[in-house]
Structure 1
């Protein structure tokens, strides 16, 4: 949960999925484990041979149930604007997972890309690009492609992705991993939340000058 607090929406989507399939899903527990791909969570509730079709159905249900209840986190709009306004000509990324740095603000997330875009459009968050379906080290693919030198995320998987890409790992303690976990995972910078990001970013860019 870097730019958005997806917990209310995901909880609603799981409730709809449980009602439709007749399978118990502890949605309150599931939303404490956000970050990894959906299939990892579904494996706790469904047999292996059902995970793919159930995952497809969840993603179909998601827009109707998850977009409306999901708010932006404090500082989300300002963080994107700071990168776009004060970028050094490189790029920054954020995960929705997270945000990346380099003159352009890109969002790289494990979410189903169309649903990630729906969230951002609904909330008026306008990054320069949105790349979905990438988790942890795999996020380095997009970070390399867009030349991101900084990646902002809320999970230890985001820290690994940043380091795999050779980017600075900036972590915000607004997701399932607390500040100590993020530091232990090797985050280069740990912020309480995105409201602290614009000031940090301006200092970072100034130091590059």
Structure 2
């Protein structure tokens, strides 16, 4: 069995560590122009969290989605979405807080892994590992594999992923789901945003010790 450091924290990416709305909007507009199929990019970015195929299903026939997704991920997204997506306040400081106690920060996201890595590289967010293409309960296996005891996300799907892994669910109300709904879904801790994470984390580590 693999050995893990004493403390590993998992993070979602979109609307947890980064504000991907501007980049994804630009990418969907480019996809619409390339395919000639109308995509309401403003609506699409209100539904971030679930896998790309879920959003494409609103606009394209099912049989076309695999090819469209491939084009989007490998040709359109890297060009249009990376540079326009800023880090959310507190993102770098949260990772630094974990590294400051010798812990590891692992990004587990529904996004295509290489594009997630591109975002982190562009923004100089120093994750120790990145796992992509996982959603909701599917995130649980990666969290278990990496020994994560905490998972931080903005969506009910992230709460479900944490629960599946037996990890503490820390929710940030920076995405499409409000604080009350995150609490109702079973989040153990709800923060307004990641600027509150380092102080919370300091207390969590102190209590654990």
Normalising by structure 1, what TM-score? 0.92
| Deviation per residue, 1:85-115 (Å, 9 max, x gap) | 125xxxxxxxxxxxxxxx2110000000000
Q: Is the 8 A contact 1:152 1:171 kept in 2?
A: yes
Equivalences for residues 46-195 of structure 1 within 5 A = 46-60=60-74, 61-87=76-102, 103-195=103-195
Aligned-partner Cα distance in 2 for 1:43–1:118: 25
Aligned to 1:36: 50
Number of aligned residues: 194
Q: Is the 8 A contact 1:135 1:157 kept in 2?
A: yes
Instruction: Give the deviation of 1:84 after TM superposition.
Output: 1.2
Q: Is the 8 A contact 1:106 1:127 kept in 2?
A: yes
Aligned-partner Cα distance in 1 for 2:204–2:101: 10
SS at match of 1:81: helix
CA RMSD in angstroms, aligned pairs only: 0.6
Name stretches of at least 5 consecutive residues in structure 2 with no aligned partner: 1-14
Q: Is the 8 A contact 1:86 1:202 kept in 2?
A: no
**Residue 7 of structure 1 pairs with residue 21 of structure 2:** yes
SS at match of 2:85: coil
Q: Is the 8 A contact 1:75 1:194 kept in 2?
A: yes
Name stretches of at least 5 consecutive residues in structure 1 with no aligned partner: 88-102
Q: Which one scores higher on RCO, CA 8 angstroms, separation ≥ 6? A: 2
| Deviation per residue, 1:137-156 (Å, 9 max, x gap) | 01011100111000000000
Instruction: Give the deviation of 1:40 after TM superposition.
Output: 0.2
SS at match of 2:176: coil
